[in-house]
Structure 1
Amino acid sequence: MAMRTGYLGPPGTFSEKALKLLKNKVTQKVWYSSFKDIARALIDGEIEGALFPLENSLSGKVLEVDAILKTLKEKLILIEEVFLPITPGLFSYSAQSLEEINVVLSRPELWQQCREYFKGRDHLRFIPALSSSQAAEKAKKIKGAAFIADLDYRNEAKVLELFLNGNRPSVTRFGLFKIL
Protein backbone atom coordinates (compact mmCIF):
# COMPACT_ATOMS: atom_id res chain seq x y z
CA MET A 1 0.00 0.00 0.00
CA ALA A 2 1.50 3.34 -1.09
CA MET A 3 0.63 6.50 0.80
CA ARG A 4 1.43 10.10 1.58
CA THR A 5 2.54 9.94 5.19
CA GLY A 6 2.70 12.63 7.85
CA TYR A 7 5.37 12.69 10.53
CA LEU A 8 6.75 15.03 13.18
CA GLY A 9 9.30 17.23 11.48
CA PRO A 10 11.14 19.12 10.27
CA PRO A 11 13.53 16.71 8.55
CA GLY A 12 16.09 15.34 10.96
CA THR A 13 13.73 13.90 13.57
CA PHE A 14 13.58 10.38 14.96
CA SER A 15 10.18 10.13 13.25
CA GLU A 16 11.78 10.74 9.86
CA LYS A 17 14.33 8.03 10.63
CA ALA A 18 11.52 5.63 11.59
CA LEU A 19 9.76 6.31 8.27
CA LYS A 20 12.65 4.56 6.51
CA LEU A 21 11.92 1.37 8.46
CA LEU A 22 8.32 1.05 7.28
CA LYS A 23 7.36 -1.83 5.00
CA ASN A 24 4.40 0.17 3.69
CA LYS A 25 5.57 2.31 0.79
CA VAL A 26 5.66 6.01 1.58
CA THR A 27 5.13 7.87 -1.69
CA GLN A 28 5.61 11.26 -0.11
CA LYS A 29 6.67 12.20 3.40
CA VAL A 30 5.02 15.33 4.75
CA TRP A 31 6.32 16.88 7.94
CA TYR A 32 4.18 18.71 10.47
CA SER A 33 5.24 20.77 13.46
CA SER A 34 2.94 19.04 15.97
CA PHE A 35 1.20 15.74 16.59
CA LYS A 36 -2.15 17.55 16.54
CA ASP A 37 -1.38 18.86 13.05
CA ILE A 38 -0.58 15.33 11.86
CA ALA A 39 -3.86 14.00 13.26
CA ARG A 40 -5.84 16.87 11.72
CA ALA A 41 -4.20 16.31 8.32
CA LEU A 42 -5.06 12.60 8.46
CA ILE A 43 -8.69 13.26 9.42
CA ASP A 44 -9.00 15.97 6.73
CA GLY A 45 -7.60 13.68 4.04
CA GLU A 46 -4.42 15.69 3.35
CA ILE A 47 -2.40 12.52 4.01
CA GLU A 48 -3.27 8.82 3.89
CA GLY A 49 -0.99 7.72 6.71
CA ALA A 50 0.31 9.17 9.98
CA LEU A 51 3.39 7.99 11.83
CA PHE A 52 3.42 8.59 15.58
CA PRO A 53 5.95 7.67 18.27
CA LEU A 54 3.97 5.59 20.75
CA GLU A 55 6.37 4.74 23.54
CA ASN A 56 10.01 4.45 24.49
CA SER A 57 11.55 1.60 26.42
CA LEU A 58 13.05 4.03 28.99
CA SER A 59 10.54 6.86 29.28
CA GLY A 60 7.26 5.08 28.54
CA LYS A 61 4.30 6.38 26.54
CA VAL A 62 4.41 9.58 24.54
CA LEU A 63 1.57 11.15 26.51
CA GLU A 64 0.55 13.75 23.94
CA VAL A 65 0.23 11.08 21.23
CA ASP A 66 -1.58 8.73 23.58
CA ALA A 67 -4.20 11.41 24.31
CA ILE A 68 -4.71 12.15 20.60
CA LEU A 69 -5.07 8.48 19.72
CA LYS A 70 -7.61 7.95 22.51
CA THR A 71 -9.83 10.71 21.12
CA LEU A 72 -9.57 9.24 17.60
CA LYS A 73 -9.76 5.55 18.49
CA GLU A 74 -13.04 5.02 16.58
CA LYS A 75 -11.59 6.58 13.42
CA LEU A 76 -8.06 5.17 13.10
CA ILE A 77 -6.49 1.79 12.58
CA LEU A 78 -2.90 0.81 13.30
CA ILE A 79 -1.48 -0.77 10.15
CA GLU A 80 2.21 -1.16 11.02
CA GLU A 81 4.65 -0.83 13.89
CA VAL A 82 8.39 -0.21 13.70
CA PHE A 83 10.99 -0.14 16.43
CA LEU A 84 13.77 2.44 16.28
CA PRO A 85 16.88 2.16 18.45
CA ILE A 86 17.70 5.58 19.90
CA THR A 87 21.29 6.72 20.49
CA PRO A 88 20.95 10.15 22.08
CA GLY A 89 23.88 12.51 22.04
CA LEU A 90 24.52 16.04 23.29
CA PHE A 91 25.60 18.50 20.60
CA SER A 92 26.30 22.23 20.39
CA TYR A 93 27.02 24.84 17.75
CA SER A 94 28.45 27.40 20.19
CA ALA A 95 30.09 25.44 23.01
CA GLN A 96 33.31 23.48 22.76
CA SER A 97 32.89 21.61 26.07
CA LEU A 98 30.25 20.56 28.59
CA GLU A 99 31.43 23.29 30.95
CA GLU A 100 30.28 25.97 28.50
CA ILE A 101 26.69 24.66 28.38
CA ASN A 102 23.93 26.31 30.40
CA VAL A 103 20.83 25.38 28.36
CA VAL A 104 19.73 22.05 26.85
CA LEU A 105 16.96 21.84 24.27
CA SER A 106 15.12 18.58 23.61
CA ARG A 107 11.80 16.84 23.27
CA PRO A 108 10.60 16.17 26.83
CA GLU A 109 10.57 12.39 26.26
CA LEU A 110 14.17 12.40 25.09
CA TRP A 111 15.22 14.55 28.05
CA GLN A 112 13.47 12.02 30.30
CA GLN A 113 15.38 9.13 28.69
CA CYS A 114 18.63 10.91 29.56
CA ARG A 115 17.65 12.03 33.10
CA GLU A 116 20.41 10.00 34.79
CA TYR A 117 23.05 11.77 32.72
CA PHE A 118 21.81 15.20 33.82
CA LYS A 119 21.59 14.38 37.54
CA GLY A 120 23.87 16.67 39.52
CA ARG A 121 24.08 19.18 36.68
CA ASP A 122 21.59 21.54 38.29
CA HIS A 123 23.01 24.60 36.52
CA LEU A 124 21.54 23.34 33.23
CA ARG A 125 18.18 24.74 32.21
CA PHE A 126 15.93 22.49 30.13
CA ILE A 127 13.96 24.07 27.28
CA PRO A 128 11.38 21.78 25.65
CA ALA A 129 11.23 21.55 21.87
CA LEU A 130 8.70 19.96 19.53
CA SER A 131 11.37 17.82 17.85
CA SER A 132 15.09 17.17 17.88
CA SER A 133 15.38 19.16 14.66
CA GLN A 134 13.63 22.14 16.22
CA ALA A 135 15.91 21.85 19.25
CA ALA A 136 18.95 21.97 16.97
CA GLU A 137 17.65 25.01 15.08
CA LYS A 138 16.91 26.90 18.28
CA ALA A 139 20.29 25.94 19.77
CA LYS A 140 22.03 27.67 16.84
CA LYS A 141 20.66 30.98 18.11
CA ILE A 142 21.51 30.61 21.82
CA LYS A 143 25.06 30.99 23.11
CA GLY A 144 25.90 28.17 25.52
CA ALA A 145 23.07 25.98 24.26
CA ALA A 146 23.19 22.29 23.52
CA PHE A 147 20.58 19.96 22.08
CA ILE A 148 19.83 16.26 22.35
CA ALA A 149 19.50 14.38 19.08
CA ASP A 150 20.58 11.27 17.25
CA LEU A 151 24.17 11.20 15.99
CA ASP A 152 22.90 10.92 12.41
CA TYR A 153 21.21 14.32 12.68
CA ARG A 154 23.80 16.47 14.42
CA ASN A 155 24.72 18.32 11.19
CA GLU A 156 27.76 20.56 11.82
CA ALA A 157 27.31 20.66 15.59
CA LYS A 158 30.15 19.59 17.87
CA VAL A 159 29.71 16.27 19.67
CA LEU A 160 29.89 16.95 23.41
CA GLU A 161 28.78 13.53 24.62
CA LEU A 162 27.28 10.33 23.20
CA PHE A 163 25.12 7.65 24.80
CA LEU A 164 23.43 10.01 27.25
CA ASN A 165 21.19 7.17 28.34
CA GLY A 166 24.14 5.40 30.00
CA ASN A 167 24.55 2.82 27.24
CA ARG A 168 21.19 1.36 28.23
CA PRO A 169 19.28 0.11 25.22
CA SER A 170 16.59 2.56 24.23
CA VAL A 171 14.02 1.73 21.60
CA THR A 172 11.04 3.79 20.49
CA ARG A 173 7.97 2.06 19.08
CA PHE A 174 6.28 3.95 16.26
CA GLY A 175 2.86 3.25 14.80
CA LEU A 176 1.62 3.95 11.29
CA PHE A 177 -2.09 4.79 11.28
CA LYS A 178 -4.72 5.31 8.62
CA ILE A 179 -8.41 6.18 8.63
CA LEU A 180 -10.80 3.25 9.08
Structure 2
Amino acid sequence: MTSRRIAYQGEPGANSHIVANRHYPDWDTLPCASFEDVFAAVESGEAELAMIPIDNSIAGRVADIHHFLPTSGLHIIAEHFLRIQFSLMAMPGVTIDQIKTVHSHVHALGQCRKIIREHGLTPVISGDTAGAAREIAAAGDPTQAAISPPMAAEIYGLDVLAHDIEDEDHNTTRFVVLSPRTGACTGWQRPDGHDVRVQRPQPAGRPLQGSGRLRHQRRQHDQAQSYMVDGEFTATQFLAEVDGHPDDLPLARALERLTFFTTDITVMGVYPADPFRAASR
Protein backbone atom coordinates (compact mmCIF):
# COMPACT_ATOMS: atom_id res chain seq x y z
CA MET A 1 0.00 0.00 0.00
CA THR A 2 1.35 3.41 -0.96
CA SER A 3 1.79 5.79 1.99
CA ARG A 4 -0.13 9.02 1.92
CA ARG A 5 1.93 12.21 1.68
CA ILE A 6 1.49 15.74 2.92
CA ALA A 7 3.77 18.43 1.50
CA TYR A 8 5.09 21.48 3.33
CA GLN A 9 7.51 24.33 2.69
CA GLY A 10 10.78 24.18 4.58
CA GLU A 11 13.27 21.62 5.79
CA PRO A 12 12.72 18.77 8.26
CA GLY A 13 12.12 20.26 11.70
CA ALA A 14 10.33 23.39 10.44
CA ASN A 15 7.09 24.52 12.08
CA SER A 16 5.11 23.29 9.07
CA HIS A 17 6.70 19.87 9.58
CA ILE A 18 5.72 19.93 13.26
CA VAL A 19 2.06 20.75 12.63
CA ALA A 20 1.87 18.17 9.83
CA ASN A 21 3.23 15.46 12.14
CA ARG A 22 0.88 16.50 14.92
CA HIS A 23 -2.33 16.36 12.89
CA TYR A 24 -1.38 13.72 10.31
CA PRO A 25 0.87 11.35 12.28
CA ASP A 26 0.31 8.40 9.96
CA TRP A 27 1.22 10.34 6.82
CA ASP A 28 4.64 10.71 5.21
CA THR A 29 5.84 14.30 4.99
CA LEU A 30 7.36 15.85 1.87
CA PRO A 31 9.64 18.88 2.46
CA CYS A 32 9.68 21.41 -0.40
CA ALA A 33 12.04 24.30 -1.04
CA SER A 34 9.32 26.84 -1.86
CA PHE A 35 5.57 27.40 -1.70
CA GLU A 36 5.47 26.96 -5.48
CA ASP A 37 6.99 23.51 -5.05
CA VAL A 38 4.39 22.61 -2.42
CA PHE A 39 1.50 23.53 -4.72
CA ALA A 40 3.16 21.73 -7.63
CA ALA A 41 3.60 18.56 -5.56
CA VAL A 42 -0.13 18.39 -4.82
CA GLU A 43 -1.18 19.36 -8.32
CA SER A 44 1.02 16.64 -9.82
CA GLY A 45 -0.14 13.96 -7.39
CA GLU A 46 3.26 13.59 -5.71
CA ALA A 47 1.48 14.55 -2.46
CA GLU A 48 -2.20 14.32 -1.58
CA LEU A 49 -2.33 17.30 0.79
CA ALA A 50 -0.39 20.51 1.50
CA MET A 51 0.18 22.17 4.87
CA ILE A 52 0.55 25.91 4.33
CA PRO A 53 1.03 28.73 6.89
CA ILE A 54 -1.35 31.56 6.12
CA ASP A 55 -1.38 33.93 9.13
CA ASN A 56 0.81 34.71 12.12
CA SER A 57 -0.38 36.62 15.18
CA ILE A 58 2.71 38.86 15.06
CA ALA A 59 3.84 39.01 11.42
CA GLY A 60 0.34 38.97 9.87
CA ARG A 61 -0.55 37.23 6.61
CA VAL A 62 2.22 35.09 5.14
CA ALA A 63 3.60 36.78 2.04
CA ASP A 64 2.83 35.38 -1.43
CA ILE A 65 0.19 32.84 -0.32
CA HIS A 66 -2.65 35.01 -1.63
CA HIS A 67 -1.03 34.90 -5.08
CA PHE A 68 -0.94 31.11 -5.22
CA LEU A 69 -4.28 30.16 -3.67
CA PRO A 70 -6.74 31.61 -6.23
CA THR A 71 -5.11 29.92 -9.22
CA SER A 72 -3.98 26.70 -7.58
CA GLY A 73 -7.19 24.75 -8.13
CA LEU A 74 -6.87 23.40 -4.59
CA HIS A 75 -9.44 23.54 -1.79
CA ILE A 76 -8.99 24.43 1.87
CA ILE A 77 -10.25 21.44 3.85
CA ALA A 78 -8.95 22.16 7.36
CA GLU A 79 -7.20 24.70 9.54
CA HIS A 80 -4.76 24.18 12.40
CA PHE A 81 -3.11 26.59 14.83
CA LEU A 82 0.39 26.13 16.21
CA ARG A 83 1.84 28.00 19.17
CA ILE A 84 5.28 28.94 17.83
CA GLN A 85 8.18 27.97 20.07
CA PHE A 86 11.82 28.73 19.27
CA SER A 87 14.99 27.42 20.86
CA LEU A 88 18.58 28.64 20.72
CA MET A 89 20.74 25.71 19.64
CA ALA A 90 24.39 25.07 18.86
CA MET A 91 26.96 22.30 18.45
CA PRO A 92 27.15 19.76 21.30
CA GLY A 93 29.18 20.97 24.26
CA VAL A 94 29.04 24.64 23.25
CA THR A 95 28.04 27.19 25.91
CA ILE A 96 26.03 30.30 25.26
CA ASP A 97 29.04 32.50 26.10
CA GLN A 98 30.90 31.09 23.10
CA ILE A 99 28.21 32.16 20.62
CA LYS A 100 28.94 35.14 18.36
CA THR A 101 26.38 34.83 15.54
CA VAL A 102 22.83 33.49 15.46
CA HIS A 103 21.22 32.23 12.25
CA SER A 104 17.54 31.93 11.37
CA HIS A 105 14.71 33.07 9.11
CA VAL A 106 14.23 36.84 9.17
CA HIS A 107 10.85 36.52 10.94
CA ALA A 108 12.26 34.28 13.66
CA LEU A 109 15.13 36.70 14.27
CA GLY A 110 12.61 39.52 14.56
CA GLN A 111 10.51 37.53 17.04
CA CYS A 112 13.47 36.71 19.32
CA ARG A 113 15.13 40.11 19.66
CA LYS A 114 15.44 40.02 23.45
CA ILE A 115 17.83 37.07 23.69
CA ILE A 116 19.81 38.33 20.70
CA ARG A 117 20.27 41.71 22.36
CA GLU A 118 20.89 40.24 25.83
CA HIS A 119 23.87 38.19 24.61
CA GLY A 120 25.13 40.68 22.02
CA LEU A 121 24.71 38.24 19.14
CA THR A 122 24.98 39.17 15.48
CA PRO A 123 21.90 37.99 13.55
CA VAL A 124 22.44 36.23 10.22
CA ILE A 125 19.47 35.63 7.93
CA SER A 126 18.83 32.10 6.68
CA GLY A 127 16.15 30.96 4.28
CA ASP A 128 14.41 28.71 6.80
CA THR A 129 14.37 28.18 10.57
CA ALA A 130 15.06 24.44 10.39
CA GLY A 131 17.52 25.03 7.56
CA ALA A 132 19.49 27.29 9.87
CA ALA A 133 19.89 24.39 12.32
CA ARG A 134 21.09 22.12 9.52
CA GLU A 135 23.62 24.75 8.41
CA ILE A 136 24.98 25.13 11.94
CA ALA A 137 25.38 21.37 12.29
CA ALA A 138 27.18 21.19 8.93
CA ALA A 139 29.50 24.11 9.73
CA GLY A 140 30.58 22.71 13.11
CA ASP A 141 31.57 26.21 14.24
CA PRO A 142 31.24 26.66 18.04
CA THR A 143 30.68 30.41 17.62
CA GLN A 144 27.51 29.92 15.56
CA ALA A 145 24.01 29.17 16.85
CA ALA A 146 20.56 28.81 15.30
CA ILE A 147 17.11 29.92 16.33
CA SER A 148 14.89 27.03 15.30
CA PRO A 149 11.93 24.94 16.46
CA PRO A 150 13.05 22.45 19.14
CA MET A 151 12.37 19.50 16.81
CA ALA A 152 15.28 20.68 14.64
CA ALA A 153 17.77 20.12 17.47
CA GLU A 154 16.79 16.45 17.60
CA ILE A 155 17.00 16.02 13.84
CA TYR A 156 20.40 17.70 13.39
CA GLY A 157 22.08 16.62 16.64
CA LEU A 158 22.37 20.04 18.27
CA ASP A 159 22.24 21.05 21.93
CA VAL A 160 19.49 23.40 23.07
CA LEU A 161 21.01 26.30 25.00
CA ALA A 162 17.71 28.07 25.76
CA HIS A 163 14.06 27.09 25.34
CA ASP A 164 11.03 29.27 24.51
CA ILE A 165 13.09 32.31 23.54
CA GLU A 166 10.37 34.07 21.50
CA ASP A 167 9.56 37.57 22.77
CA GLU A 168 5.78 37.12 22.83
CA ASP A 169 3.96 34.14 24.34
CA HIS A 170 0.99 34.63 22.00
CA ASN A 171 3.08 33.92 18.89
CA THR A 172 0.75 31.63 16.94
CA THR A 173 0.56 30.62 13.28
CA ARG A 174 -2.56 29.51 11.47
CA PHE A 175 -2.07 26.78 8.88
CA VAL A 176 -4.50 25.58 6.23
CA VAL A 177 -4.61 22.15 4.63
CA LEU A 178 -5.10 22.09 0.86
CA SER A 179 -6.48 19.26 -1.26
CA PRO A 180 -7.49 18.76 -4.90
CA ARG A 181 -10.79 17.38 -3.55
CA THR A 182 -13.38 19.37 -1.61
CA GLY A 183 -13.81 18.20 1.97
CA ALA A 184 -11.28 15.39 1.67
CA CYS A 185 -10.11 13.53 4.79
CA THR A 186 -12.12 15.58 7.28
CA GLY A 187 -14.73 13.33 8.89
CA TRP A 188 -16.78 16.20 10.33
CA GLN A 189 -20.54 16.57 10.13
CA ARG A 190 -21.19 20.30 9.92
CA PRO A 191 -18.51 22.73 8.73
CA ASP A 192 -18.50 26.12 10.36
CA GLY A 193 -15.94 28.24 8.56
CA HIS A 194 -14.96 29.05 5.01
CA ASP A 195 -12.81 31.28 2.83
CA VAL A 196 -14.19 33.26 -0.09
CA ARG A 197 -12.26 34.85 -2.93
CA VAL A 198 -14.01 37.90 -4.35
CA GLN A 199 -12.85 39.87 -7.39
CA ARG A 200 -14.32 43.13 -8.59
CA PRO A 201 -13.33 45.90 -10.99
CA GLN A 202 -12.58 49.07 -9.07
CA PRO A 203 -9.84 51.65 -8.43
CA ALA A 204 -7.22 50.52 -5.96
CA GLY A 205 -7.85 51.35 -2.33
CA ARG A 206 -11.64 51.53 -2.46
CA PRO A 207 -13.33 49.31 0.09
CA LEU A 208 -15.37 46.33 -0.99
CA GLN A 209 -18.91 47.59 -0.55
CA GLY A 210 -20.38 44.12 -0.73
CA SER A 211 -18.30 42.78 2.17
CA GLY A 212 -20.70 44.55 4.49
CA ARG A 213 -23.40 42.12 3.33
CA LEU A 214 -21.62 39.40 5.28
CA ARG A 215 -21.87 41.42 8.48
CA HIS A 216 -25.47 42.38 7.83
CA GLN A 217 -26.42 38.72 7.68
CA ARG A 218 -25.24 38.28 11.27
CA ARG A 219 -22.22 36.25 10.25
CA GLN A 220 -18.88 36.77 11.91
CA HIS A 221 -16.70 38.47 9.33
CA ASP A 222 -13.20 37.56 10.47
CA GLN A 223 -11.17 39.50 7.91
CA ALA A 224 -11.04 40.72 4.34
CA GLN A 225 -7.80 41.64 2.62
CA SER A 226 -7.41 43.17 -0.81
CA TYR A 227 -4.80 42.65 -3.53
CA MET A 228 -4.22 44.04 -7.00
CA VAL A 229 -5.01 41.64 -9.87
CA ASP A 230 -2.04 41.01 -12.18
CA GLY A 231 -0.38 44.22 -11.00
CA GLU A 232 -3.11 46.36 -12.50
CA PHE A 233 -5.02 49.18 -10.82
CA THR A 234 -8.29 48.40 -12.58
CA ALA A 235 -9.34 45.39 -10.50
CA THR A 236 -8.96 44.31 -6.90
CA GLN A 237 -9.18 40.85 -5.44
CA PHE A 238 -10.36 40.21 -1.87
CA LEU A 239 -9.82 37.22 0.35
CA ALA A 240 -12.54 37.09 2.99
CA GLU A 241 -12.84 34.68 5.90
CA VAL A 242 -16.22 34.23 7.55
CA ASP A 243 -18.00 31.87 9.93
CA GLY A 244 -20.85 29.79 8.57
CA HIS A 245 -21.74 27.41 5.76
CA PRO A 246 -22.64 28.60 2.24
CA ASP A 247 -25.85 26.54 2.42
CA ASP A 248 -27.08 28.41 5.51
CA LEU A 249 -29.78 30.83 4.35
CA PRO A 250 -28.35 34.06 5.84
CA LEU A 251 -24.89 33.48 4.42
CA ALA A 252 -26.28 32.22 1.11
CA ARG A 253 -28.20 35.49 0.78
CA ALA A 254 -25.10 37.50 1.63
CA LEU A 255 -23.09 35.72 -1.06
CA GLU A 256 -25.90 36.22 -3.53
CA ARG A 257 -25.93 39.96 -2.86
CA LEU A 258 -22.17 40.08 -3.39
CA THR A 259 -22.74 39.13 -7.03
CA PHE A 260 -24.11 42.65 -7.63
CA PHE A 261 -20.73 44.15 -6.66
CA THR A 262 -18.29 41.66 -8.18
CA THR A 263 -17.23 39.93 -11.37
CA ASP A 264 -16.23 36.65 -9.73
CA ILE A 265 -16.84 34.84 -6.42
CA THR A 266 -15.09 31.61 -5.52
CA VAL A 267 -15.61 29.64 -2.31
CA MET A 268 -12.06 28.45 -1.73
CA GLY A 269 -12.85 26.10 1.12
CA VAL A 270 -15.43 24.95 3.65
CA TYR A 271 -13.95 23.36 6.75
CA PRO A 272 -14.44 22.93 10.51
CA ALA A 273 -13.09 25.67 12.75
CA ASP A 274 -10.08 24.59 14.78
CA PRO A 275 -10.90 24.32 18.54
CA PHE A 276 -8.22 26.98 19.11
CA ARG A 277 -10.67 29.62 17.87
CA ALA A 278 -13.20 28.93 20.60
CA ALA A 279 -10.51 28.62 23.28
CA SER A 280 -8.96 31.98 22.37
CA ARG A 281 -12.20 34.00 22.45
- Give TM-score scaled by structure 2 length: 0.54
1:1-180 alignment runs, 5 A limit: 3-22=4-23, 27-63=27-63, 67-74=64-71, 75-93=73-91, 96-119=94-117, 123-130=121-128, 132-140=129-137, 141-143=139-141, 144-155=143-154, 156-166=157-167, 168-179=169-180
Q: Is the 8 A contact 2:50 2:178 kept in 1?
A: yes
Distance 2:140 2:27 in 1: 37
Q: Which runs of 4+ in 1 moved over 4 A?
A: 120-123
Larger Rg: 2
1:105-161 per-residue CA deviation (whole Å, 9 max, x = no partner) reads 21222222213433466650312132x331111012052111112223312322222
Distance 1:113 1:94 in 2: 25
Distance 1:71 1:13 in 2: 21
1:59-108 per-residue CA deviation (whole Å, 9 max, x = no partner) reads 22221xxx144233142221111111122111101672333222222122
Distance 1:102 1:127 in 2: 14
Q: Which has the higher contact order (CA 8 A, sep 6+)?
A: 1
Which amino acid counterpart does residue 126 of structure 1 have in structure 2?
A: V
1:23-51 per-residue CA deviation (whole Å, 9 max, x = no partner) reads 7x864322222222112212223222111
Distance 1:176 1:87 in 2: 21
Alignment RMSD: 2.6
Distance 2:60 2:18 in 1: 19
Q: Is the 8 A contact 1:78 1:178 kept in 2?
A: yes
Classify the secondary structure of the residue corresponding to 1:40. Answer: helix
How far the C-alpha of 1:163 sits from its partner, in A, is: 2.1
Stretch deviating more after TM superposition (68-77 or 47-56): 68-77
- Give TM-score scaled by structure 1 length: 0.80
Distance 1:177 1:69 in 2: 13
Classify the secondary structure of the residue corresponding to 2:97. Answer: helix
Which amino acid counterpart does residue 151 of structure 1 have in structure 2?
A: P
Q: 1:76 to 1:84 in 2, by over 3 A?
A: same
Distance 1:108 1:127 in 2: 6
Q: In proportion to residue count, which structure has more strand?
A: 1
Q: 1:39 to 1:73 in 2, by over 3 A?
A: same
Distance 2:87 2:136 in 1: 14
Q: 1:26 to 1:60 in 2, by over 3 A?
A: farther
Q: Is the 8 A contact 2:109 2:147 kept in 1?
A: yes
Distance 1:34 1:71 in 2: 12
Instruction: Count matched residues.
Output: 174
Q: Is the 8 A contact 1:7 1:52 kept in 2?
A: yes
Classify the secondary structure of the residue corresponding to 1:79. Answer: strand
Distance 1:18 1:157 in 2: 21
How far the C-alpha of 1:5 sits from its partner, in A, is: 1.3
